[in-house]
A and B are shown apart, each in its own frame.
Chain A
């Protein structure tokens, strides 16, 4: 029957074979979560800010059509060309067309999860265009032909030694030199050359302001600015949900974003792009790619409030111990698990189950997305639509049947059948009983509570 193509549980199991790496991954991200806590606690009105951010997004999503049109109008006034893409394919074609019209073959790109989602790099490369990711972490994973494992910290699954090996292979750095200073300066030299020789800069968009037609890009490395200022063409790709109504609202989000992401008060660079400088051009591609479908679904619409801070990743005890690649999706973590099934149920139906529903994600989310409730809801919808294995379905049906009838339950309880129902694989055989691999089984007492009660109290 249906099995997810690569399943989260299997990949996570693989990741867990290297205990030291799991320790390190978990602790590194926990440190980021702790920094977030500290930064958030330093803002007295933190919870108010979260509510504000959530309601601004709520309002915007309810009036998205109007704000998008206003944004386009203002951007046009600024001399910016605006394009509309229904899906990833259209987005990629539009970008390629702009590049081709300018007769350019080299592109630099700063961080953009949307272009990851659209597999833009692969598409451009197939069409003879060289694309260089200029965010350091993204450049590292690009060399390794991997996808980012985290939306804010794309190479967080790698250790210094992995980076050293990769740079040795692609940039000719000394073998086994793991000095971060040495490695980053090698990357800097390499990227400088790319910045200078590229004529197109692609950036993502953190916020698009309807009132002014401007886009705002937040980075720590300044690579978006570097790219845009050196190139004569700037293409900014954004999802339809990036809109905020007014420049005034930006303060709410900028205060929340970096604090939630890394515990910094603000990203090093918050760059505002209104229009192209003289002799250059600016293009904005507005992409739907499934978002309007998500918007139409009341269960999941508020997932579009996401500002991609990554806080839900850092706090997620499952993410920290399974790593981003287990989620086989451009966006991993709790929000990835909410967004991915909307894109492709068959490929991603395992993801809403990659959670204990502990609710920590919901608590850290700066725009108050009820992530764990949406994961629960996806479980119901996917299961009802048949995205479930035969074994699991069988087990649940037997359980539901036994538990519906008190007498059956009592009889079953007395025999091993209850145990087999409740813990499908009650047997002490590691191969067929996952529980028993790392845990002892609970000991069955002589008497259930019910029979004790009947004997003593009735």
Chain B
């Protein structure tokens, strides 16, 4: 099974260890992983700021990079959702459509496609799970507190396979952290306040780590934790699944 690894630009630039963990994890689970090195960005930061009409270049580049690759897997719910909903490229619209239908966020790929039953990982810490909105409400990686459906969570299903891990949930279990892309700078006051509230909720549970499927949310929370000189660290769930 060939998997094209789609690494969001901010992971590429700021959190390469998440890309490495995703790649190693997929290889351990028997996938042949290719990483098209000319990929840049899915275009989401522009689109969510109202500039979807400028994303043509990004879209073209994306389609050209992933053309013909069976599965496209990405360690970010938010970027996956953007591709699923908004990837269009006039000259190769059929291929764009195929990509839209074959792009997976990492946890949904592991659970739904690979149907992973166990992982060889150890992480003896108390970990707070942060539910990222685009993965949750957009890709339905887990049940949502607003709707009436049986509880489930693909990323937590996987994390529970890790030796020694203790997962904790906060009050207001799936409240948004306030990152929101450029919202984080244009609405700084509310964004920071939302992040502080999430951090405080995790602190109440005495966790050592906060994890989730989206490094962008975690980057925002990390910024707040560091400013507060907190000992709590953030870690992408792929790093935990690939740990020890």
Name A's B-contacting residues (CB within 8 A).
8-9, 12-13, 15-16, 22, 26, 30, 37, 40-41, 46-47, 315, 317-318, 321-322, 352-360, 362-364, 376, 379-380, 382-384, 388, 392-393, 396-397, 399-406, 409, 413, 418-419, 422-425, 434-435, 437-445, 447-450, 452-454, 457-458
State in angstroms the CA–CA spacing of A382 and B192 once bound together: 26
Known: A360-B146, A380-B50, A399-B45. A409 touches B16 (CB 8 A): no
Which of these, B19, B147, B220, contacts A47 with CB under 8 Å?
B147
Q: Which residue of B is nearest A418, CB measured?
A: B13
Number of interface residues of B (CB under 8 A): 77
- Determine whether the beta carbon of B53 is less than 8 Å from that of A360: no
CB atoms of B186 and A9 under 8 A apart: yes
Tell me whether B61 is interfacial, beta carbon within 8 Å.
Answer: yes
How long is the Cα–Cα vector from A434 to B227 in the complex, in angstroms? Answer: 14
Q: Is the CB of A438 within 8 A of B188?
A: yes
How many Å lie between the Cα of A393 and that of B182 in the bound state?
A: 12
Assuming the contacts A358-B137, A363-B147, A443-B14, asked whether A457 and B193 have C-beta atoms less than 8 A apart, the reply is: no
Known: A47-B149, A449-B12. 14 other contacts (CB 8 A): A13-B188, A16-B190, A318-B178, A318-B194, A321-B194, A356-B180, A359-B138, A400-B55, A424-B185, A434-B188, A435-B188, A438-B195, A452-B19, A453-B19
What are some 24 contacts across the A-B interface (CB < 8 A)? Answer: A12-B190, A16-B193, A353-B187, A355-B183, A356-B183, A363-B137, A380-B51, A380-B52, A384-B50, A392-B182, A400-B46, A400-B58, A403-B40, A434-B185, A435-B184, A438-B196, A438-B227, A440-B226, A442-B219, A442-B222, A445-B14, A449-B12, A449-B20, A452-B16
CB contact between A439 and one of B12, B47, B137, B227 (< 8 Å): that residue? B227
Q: Which residues of B contact A (CB under 8 A)?
A: 7, 9-20, 23, 35, 37-41, 43, 45-58, 60-61, 133-134, 137-138, 144-149, 172, 174-176, 178-180, 182-197, 219-220, 222-224, 226-227
Q: Which residue of B lies closest to A414 (CB)?
A: B13
Whether B193 pairs with A321 at a CB distance below 8 angstroms is yes
Pick from A47, A317, A322, A458: contact of B175, CB under 8 Å: A317
Q: Are B144 and A396 in contact (CB under 8 A)?
A: no
Question: B223 to chain A: which residues have CB within 8 Å?
Answer: 435, 438-442
Give the CA-CA distance A404 to B52 in the complex, in Å. 13
What residues on B are CB-neighbors of A404 within 8 Å? 40, 56-58, 60-61
**Are B176 and A356 in contact, with the CB atoms below 8 A?**
yes
Q: Which residue of B lies closest to A36 (CB)?
A: B146
B183 engages A406 (CB within 8 Å)? no
Smallest Cβ-Cβ distance to A392: which chain B residue: B49
Which residues of A lie under 8 Å from residue B49 when comparing CB positions?
Answer: 353, 379, 383, 392, 396
Q: How far is the CA of A30 from the CA of B201 in the complex (A)?
A: 14
Contacts of B184 in A (CB 8 A): 434-435
A437 to B23, CA, bound (A): 35
| Min CB–CB distance A437 → chain B (angstroms) | 6
The chain B residue sitting closest to A315, CB to CB, is B146
Nearest first, the 10 A-B pairs at minimum CB distance are A404-B57, A439-B223, A356-B180, A383-B50, A449-B19, A363-B146, A379-B50, A438-B192, A359-B137, A434-B188
* Cβ 8 A contact of A322, one of B14, B144, B190: B190
Q: Are A358 and B227 in contact (CB under 8 A)?
A: no
